Amino acid sequence: MLFGKKKRLIERVLVVEDEPLVAFDTEHFLIGEGFHIVGTVNSVTSALAALSEAEAIDLLLVDVHLSDGSGVEVARAARGRGIHVLFVTGHLPEEARALGSGCLSKPYPQRDLLTAIAAIERIIEGAKPPRRLPSSFSLFANPA
């Protein structure tokens, strides 16, 4: 198709967020944008189980501060499986930078989430990152 939409490299997303309203809004928004939500979970335990059970995940969207531990542990497991990690948090520990492809600081506008995912896709493709990124987003350029 000459003028068709470009195929996304990131389609299947696992959302790990323990704030119910944020989790619901994120899931609803991403579905509306054409992403497939593999699951939405609210704890380290549930996230690790989802990572081991899911057939394919392209992106882990993970908060750092969860009710039963740290999203950094979940990110470590995801990276071990070659899954890209986007942290969504108000405070990212320095050691987490090596595990993630980027970090979106809370609170953030939903359009910044799409921009962050698109920037990570560019890194996956081997392209240069976009020149203009939202102030709420840091791109680490760590390939999975």
pLDDT in tens, 9-21: 899 999 999 999 9
Looking at every residue in the chain, the average pLDDT score rounds to: 91
Homologous superfamily (CATH) for 12-139: Response regulator (3.40.50.2300)
Are 138 and 102 a contacting pair, CB within 8 Å? Answer: yes
Structure tokens at 75: 């990110």
pLDDT score for 117: 96
pLDDT score for 5: 61
Q: In degrees rounded to 5, what are phi and psi of residue 78?
A: -65, -45
At 25-40, the pLDDT tens digits run 999 999 999 999 999 9
Structure tokens at 100: 């993630």
pTM of this structure:
0.91
What DSSP designation does 48 have? H
**Domains of the chain by residue range:** 12-139
pLDDT category of residue 8 using cuts at 50, 70 and 90 = confident
Buried b vs exposed e over 10-39: b needs ≥16 C-beta within 10 Å?
bebbbbbbbeeeebeebbeebeeeebeebb
Q: In degrees rounded to 5, what are phi and psi of residue 41?
A: -125, 165
Are 40 and 15 a contacting pair, CB within 8 Å? Answer: yes
